[in-house]
A = this chain, B = another copy of it.
């Protein structure tokens, strides 16, 4: 008798574990195969059920489909990320809607007063960033659920991208995301991960 493998303690089947986490990798190169609006809609239709504080759902996804919009992004991307951003089939700016509270009477109808609890903008912006970042976690899983590779990029001028693409002042850019099918030499060797003993503590 041997102890069950950790994979076998999960209800999720092995193929899905591999698709979403164990075999999934951050792609650095992509093929030319496009990512369609129908695929993006299917990903969103899945991940929109993930929980957020007050059910506020502040994540917004700006797809840069035109060559002009891609060209506007490139100056804000770090030089090491620029080549893959220029060539990925699809690039998205992931942002938080700081004024998400305006929708709460509809999204959180059993506590309509929640809208007023969030009247302070700095506190609300922090809430918006937190829930939108949770949703980015769900989105990265969802991109992989669609059989696509995700290339999240934190190396960019977030304040600059916010000014360039969200002049309304109510959205904040949080992360850039390349999407597509992995191309040749899409990744290096897997980087080390921390063990459960290093991450999970008990009191």
Contact = CB atoms under 8 A, between A and B. Distances in A.
Interface of A: 6-7, 9-13, 15-17, 19-22, 24, 26, 37-51, 53, 55, 57, 59-66, 69, 103, 106-110, 127, 129-130, 133-138, 140-142, 145-147, 150, 152, 154, 165, 174, 188, 190-194, 196, 199-203
Given A108-B191, A200-B61, A17 B46 contact: yes
Contact of A137 (B37, B49, B138, B174): B138
Q: How many copies does the complex hold?
A: 2
B145 A134 contact: no
Contacts of A134: 133-134, 136-137, 140
A189 to B, nearest CB: 10
Nearest to A24: B49
A49 B18 CA distance: 10
A196 B44 contact: yes
A83 B147 CA distance: 41
A161 to B, nearest CB: 12
Nearest to A48: B193
| Interface hub of A7, A39, A130, A174 (most chain B Cβ within 10 A) | A130
A46 B10 contact: yes
